[in-house]
Amino acid sequence: MKLYTNVNFGDGVYPGDVVWCQEEPKNMGPWPYTRARLVSTARELCNKDVVFKYAGRRSAASPATGIGSVHTLEQAKLLEEALVA
């Protein structure tokens, strides 16, 4: 973070441009475990209050929809949120 001085890290309340992206649903994969650790690491090592944006599938009971067309739509939305929004 110290190397990227032009990145908007947010103000501690509203997110900046830092995005966590994962294919797994929000309640699966590393996001639930990693989020608090990313925030505390940014605060302790870089003295920044960062609010990370989440780009990924919404919480679900299953890691896959089971319908190819829905998966394709979810994948396109995920990439749009991660790279454009």
In sequence order, what are the beta bridge partners of 25?
57
pLDDT at 13 over 70: yes
43-80: pLDDT as tens digits: 999 898 999 999 999 999 988 888 999 999 999 999 99
- Domain limits, the chain: 19-83
The CB density around residue 74, as the number of other CB atoms within 10 Å, is: 19
- Give the side-chain half-sphere CA count within 13 A for 15: 11
